[in-house]
A and B are shown apart, each in its own frame.
Chain A
Amino acid sequence: MQVTSPQFKKHTRAALANPHLQQALGNVRAGFIDKRKKAVDALPEFDQLRDSARDIKNHMLDHLDLYLEAYEAKVRASGGYVHWAETAEEARAIILDICRSAGARTVTKGKSMITEEIELNDFLQKNGIRPVETDLGEYIIQLRGEHPSHIIAPAVHLTKDQVEADFRRVHDHLPPTRDLTEHESLLYEARRVLRPAYFDADVGITGANFLVAETGTSIIVTNEGNGDLTQILPKVHVVVASIEKIVPTLEDAAQIMRVLARSATGQEMSVYTTMSTGPRRPGDPDGPEDYHVVLIDNGRSAMLGTEFQDMLRCIRCGACMNHCPVYHSVGGHAYGSVYPGPMGAVLTPSLAGLAKSGHLPNASTFCGRCESVCPMRIPLPKMMRHWREREFERGLNPATQRTGLKLWAMFARRPALYRFATSVAVPLLSMFGRRTGRFRHLPLAGGWTRYRDFPAPEGRTFMQQLSERDAVTMQGAK
């Protein structure tokens, strides 16, 4: 997985100065936060469902090997193929092999983050196969040659005007009078282009929201129906999924679905929930001739048994980023990873290495809003802190930061020294700031004073004042 996270600071400055992005990010509140809240408030047992969803995935992770094997056996029994890929490279090679065997020149794709993670589109293109994204958001960013900025709303960083301009540029046969300002009219136009692609495609590739061990079924949830057409119309259906998508039973999948759509889009259910189990059987009205599942590890199994195991419960609803003040400010691309926001800040270092992605777990105020909305009760701030611990242990954070911290800690660990130093420094600082009660500039505090005044101390420290007050009281008592 390629990351550009080392340039996080540069990206954030550009993002903050981008008026289109800032306008688009303004829609997140009404589009996601308010809708989620309404859906959650309407379901009194929502928190119990979260507990149950967490327990299901915890149980699965404790027995992942057994459930994976059970799942594989069921897929094979239903006539499908299962391929195991330890790395992204292996996964790409397997998928290319399947496409070549099918003689594929065009593949349609349902929305899938794992195929972003393994950078499948570029790879297929380089090998002469045209990947066509069929989800509207993915279609838009494919027109723009971009990557998703959000795990469920890939084009959330764009304004309507930008999208309209992209459609006019690419769909250049449209008369200028044709309205392209509404979601429906864009969808209609995209569908017109995509319909033939569904029939051209020799292979349809989808991700999976769940893989059901009990039945060998893969499940996707979508709102546009594009996933169904992607997996039903071509001769070959390839499901690409990471290993932690397994759930033991259909009942378990149904349980987790009750928190998934509510957390993601504020819907009770997504519009389409599509289950596929193996290829078309004799007598089936439709379905692919061949059904493949590519199971990808790509770093997940190394998270098992570590303090990051809980991250493998993630169902990719996006609620954490929808509620993150940092994500709201800079958008998803700034993170420089396929997975942005709080979940990405935990997952990216696991997948791409901490050395390249150290900014991500640091760029959090630890406000805890992500954890408070996570349907799987993943302790995201705690795990970001664990990454900071690893970073500190390995000496990866900047030397100035480490020195400053160590100096401060030297005082904080020694009360007498601390008391003495603060009783000298604080009154002095207070004196300098007396005139206005604040500082516009302060040496060594440029990070603060570039944008904010720094409030001056009131006067002597509380401890100094208290000691004097107590001395006076004791004298009075004599």
Chain B
Amino acid sequence: MTTQAKKPPRVGLFVTCLVDLFRPSVGFAALRLLEDAGCVVEVPRTQTCCGQPAYNSGDRADSREIAINTIRAFEDYDYIVAPSGSCAGMLKKHYPGLFAGDREWEARCAAFSAKVHELVSFLTDVLQAKTVAARVETSVTYHDSCSGLRELGIQHQPRQLLGSVGGLSLIEMQEADVCCGFGGTFCVKYPEISNAIVGKKIGNIAATGAETLLAGDLGCLMNMAGKLKREGSRVEVRHVAEVLAGMTDTPPIGGRA
């Protein structure tokens, strides 16, 4: 008796512009996690950015064009996965509104957006992963990035998988679910306010005594890493995917090569 092998899911990896440009390690960690979980992963080369800088600045025309580019690049995959709650939220929750009233694109976008997932919640909620194989000797604290948390409901998933990483201990910080002050262009438009917010955040991080700070969004991570470094902190900052994939040989974000 033979059982027909289930066809592996074809996943299009939306790398995100920040990972592509600043932290390729996260992209490779995402590839490993998805491939280890049995996916066939492709990386369409015509992807650029999800369009949030334009969208959140009120520029709908450019947002729409960028969205069309993304949808064209990814609509044929079974799933579209991004190592970012913020970009996945943009693709999943905000793209559809850009095409209201355009029958063709409304339908294409709806089909596309339904297949979009953030990486860690894709592993747990869609692929039903309960554990990862990694072993990383460190103590970590985890920051819940806002879009992932409030638009996509990502909170227990990364903690569940981190709990399976050998040698790792998780110490929760106070107000893990409060914004880090990044906010995309907000952090350069209102740098004083952003600084005050991230200042509180790194106080909460330091109070845990954890060696490593993790989160699922590179924008927030670069903001917190930048502030920690400026304040002379020795806390290492990484994307959660790097730890889940056991790929921690690279220097931390903002760290020395």
Contact = CB atoms under 8 A, between A and B. Distances in A.
B254 A437 contact: yes
Contact of B49 (A365, A412, A434, A436): A412
Interface string B163-193: 0000000000000011101111111111111
Given A388-B57, A448-B226, A458-B250, A363 B190 contact: yes
Q: Identify the interface centre among A16, A411, A451: most chain B CB within 10 Å of its CB.
A: A451
A409 interface: yes
Interface stretch (B32-40, B118-126, B135-143, B195-203): B195-203
Contacts of A369: 146, 150, 177-179
B20 A461 contact: yes
A28 to B, nearest CB: 12
B21 A12 contact: no
Nearest to B149: A368
Contacts of A393: 58
A397 B56 CA distance: 13
B87 interface: no
Contacts of A326: 190, 193, 197
Nearest to A394: B58
Nearest to A365: B183
Interface string B189-233: 111111111100000000000000000000000110111011000
A390 B222 CA distance: 30
A435 B179 contact: no
Interface string A388-421: 1111110001000100011011011101001100
Contact of B184 (A366, A411, A451, A467): A366
Contacts of B54: 405, 408-409, 412
Contacts of A12: 190, 192-193
A438 interface: yes
Contacts of A436: 256
B27 A368 contact: no
A454 B73 CA distance: 31
B48 interface: yes
A474 interface: no
Contact of B188 (A13, A406, A415, A447): A447
Given A325-B179, A447-B189, A463-B45, A453 B230 contact: yes
Nearest to B44: A415
A437 B183 contact: no
Contact of B254 (A371, A455, A465): A455
B47 interface: yes
Given A447-B189, A452-B223, A466-B27, A365 B146 contact: yes
Interface stretch (B3-11, B59-67, B74-82, B105-113): B59-67
Interface residues of A, number: 67
B144 to A, nearest CB: 10
B206 to A, nearest CB: 15
A421 to B, nearest CB: 10
B59 A451 contact: no
B11 to A, nearest CB: 15
A415 B45 contact: yes
A283 B147 CA distance: 59
Query: Which bracket fits the contact residues of B?
Result: 35 or more
A413 B69 contact: yes
Given A369-B179, A388-B58, A463-B45, A455 B190 contact: no
A32 to B, nearest CB: 14
Nearest to B221: A455
Contact of A405 (B24, B45, B59, B65): B59
A460 interface: yes
Given A368-B146, A388-B56, A426-B21, A329 B226 contact: no
A455 B192 contact: no
Nearest to A371: B150
B59 A409 contact: yes
A334 to B, nearest CB: 9
B25 interface: yes
Nearest to B26: A462
A457 B190 contact: no
B1 interface: no
Contact of A368 (B23, B57, B151, B194): B151
Given A325-B197, A412-B62, A448-B226, A462 B48 contact: no
Q: Identify the interface centre among A367, A434, A445, A450: most chain B CB within 10 Å of its CB.
A: A367
B57 A397 contact: yes
Nearest to B89: A368
Contacts of A452: 195, 198, 223, 226-227, 229-230
A309 interface: no
B196 A16 contact: yes
Q: Identify the interface centre among A365, A422, A465: most chain B CB within 10 Å of its CB.
A: A365
B189 A434 contact: no
A121 B92 CA distance: 49
B66 A413 contact: yes
A299 interface: no
A274 interface: no
A438 B198 CA distance: 18
21 contacts: A326-B190, A362-B186, A366-B56, A366-B184, A369-B178, A371-B150, A387-B58, A388-B57, A392-B58, A393-B58, A405-B59, A405-B62, A409-B62, A419-B45, A450-B191, A453-B225, A455-B222, A457-B22, A462-B21, A463-B45, A466-B43
Given A16-B193, A328-B197, A438-B254, 11 more contacts: A362-B186, A365-B183, A366-B186, A367-B179, A369-B146, A412-B51, A413-B69, A415-B69, A450-B195, A452-B230, A456-B22
Interface of B: 15, 17, 19-25, 27-28, 43, 45-49, 51, 53-60, 62, 65-66, 69, 73, 146-147, 150-151, 177-179, 181-198, 222-223, 225-227, 229-230, 250-251, 253-257
